[in-house]
């Protein structure tokens, strides 16, 4: 299966869909990540705080796919915000993964009360210059956080990974990203907390194309221009989720899914949510 590529503002490319690993632990993390790679995923999303970087690294080593064909993302947790702390946190991730470099490193949450995300960003710029990170980005940043980072460093994040699904399409933030050349990534793209698979509008769109509701939702992400990173523990679901490049939703169908907007499902307001 050929997955289309997206080009970031630093010229690097990444696949239009990735594999999320949150909640996968231990042996299951190795098996599920390995199976995702076998089933065609090349973008793998992990984080220091998921406690599975070692397993993700092990799955990569066991896989027959060359390292350079994979796009590995990990994230800096709150306890490592600050200039030197970021170097330290990144080294820890790299050591866990057992890799020489990561393709994308993100600040996991902005933690505005701590007020050190700009220092972390400066550290990440240095790490990118050293070649141990290919692309740098952020996660859960609002336009205000992005504007500050850009104003203080002149370096625009390549990616902002945010909560985005049919119940929270993030129209305003996506427009801001488009204006600034920032690629949107969608976390919890299937809205797992409020399983939308029985929703009538989503079923209608899925039925019109003879696909599953999950495929209709993931295709919606692709057509919005965002990169979804669904997590699935079985090979069957992994194959289902990546098989979304053989059909196209009409503008009306995209609109119909977007009209389900309600708001955040997790209460993870980036201005107040703190994770260390």
Ligand X SMILES: NC(=O)c1ccc[n+]([C@@H]2O[C@H](COP(=O)([O-])OP(=O)(O)OC[C@H]3O[C@@H](n4cnc5c(N)ncnc54)[C@H](OP(=O)(O)O)[C@@H]3O)[C@@H](O)[C@H]2O)c1
The contact set with ligand X (CB under 6 A) reads 20-22, 45, 108, 139-140, 161, 187-192, 214, 229-234, 237, 240-241
When CB distances to ligand X are compared, the closest residue is 20
CB 53 within 8 A of CB 93: yes
Rg of the chain (C-alpha set) = 18
Tokens of 107: 């600040």
Q: What is the DSSP letter of 68?
A: G
Q: Which is nearer to ligand X, 84 or 271 (CB)?
A: 271
Catalytic-residue membership of 50: yes
We find the least distance from the C-beta atom of residue 231 to ligand X, in angstroms, to be 3
We find the least distance from the C-beta atom of residue 84 to ligand X, in angstroms, to be 23
Helix (H) or strand (E) holding 102: strand 102-107
We find the least distance from the C-beta atom of residue 189 to ligand X, in angstroms, to be 5
Q: Which is nearer to ligand X, 129 or 133 (CB)?
A: 133
Tokens of 39: 């089933």
What single string gives the DSSP state of each residue in 14-41? EESS-EE-TT--HHHHHHHHHHHHHTT-
CB 33 within 8 A of CB 55: yes
Give the HSE-up count for residue 109: Cα atoms under 13 Å, Cβ half-sphere.
19
Q: Which is nearer to ligand X, 20 or 157 (CB)?
A: 20
We find the least distance from the C-beta atom of residue 138 to ligand X, in angstroms, to be 9
CB 44 within 8 A of CB 21: yes
Tokens of 115: 């007020």
Q: Which is nearer to ligand X, 214 or 249 (CB)?
A: 214
List the catalytic residue out of 41, 50, 117, 167.
50
Q: Which residues are catalytic, by number?
A: 50
């Amino acid at each position: 299966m050929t997955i289309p590529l997206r080009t970031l503002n630093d010229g690097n490319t990444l696949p239009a869909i990735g594999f999320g690993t949150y909640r996968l632990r231990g042996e299951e993390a190795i098996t599920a990540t390995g199976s995702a790679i076998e089933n065609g995923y090349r973008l793998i999303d992990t984080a220091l705080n998921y406690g599975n970087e070692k397993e993700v690294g092990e799955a990569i080593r066991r896989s027959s796919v060359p390292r350079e064909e994979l796009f590995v993302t990990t994230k800096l947790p709150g306890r490592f915000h600050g200039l030197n702390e970021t170097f330290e946190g990144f080294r820890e991730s790299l050591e866990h993964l057992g890799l020489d470099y990561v393709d994308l490193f993100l600040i996991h949450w902005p933690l505005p009360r701590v007020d050190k995300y700009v220092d972390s960003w400066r550290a990440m710029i240095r790490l990118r210059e050293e070649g141990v990170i290919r692309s740098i980005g952020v996660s859960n940043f609002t336009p205000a956080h992005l504007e500050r980072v850009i104003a203080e460093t002149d370096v625009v994040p390549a990616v902002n990974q945010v909560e985005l699904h049919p119940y929270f399409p993030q129209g305003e933030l996506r427009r801001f990203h488009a204006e600034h050349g920032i690629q949107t990534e969608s976390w919890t793209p299937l809205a797992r907390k409020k399983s939308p698979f029985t929703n009538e509008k989503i079923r209608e769109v899925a039925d019109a194309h003879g696909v599953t509701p999950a495929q209709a939702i993931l295709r919606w992400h692709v057509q919005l221009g965002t990169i979804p990173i669904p997590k699935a523990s079985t090979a069957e679901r992994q194959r289902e989720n990546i098989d979304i490049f053989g059909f196209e939703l009409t503008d009306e169908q995209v609109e119909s899914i977007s009209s389900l907007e309600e708001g955040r499902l997790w209460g993870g307001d980036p201005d107040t949510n703190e994770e260390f």
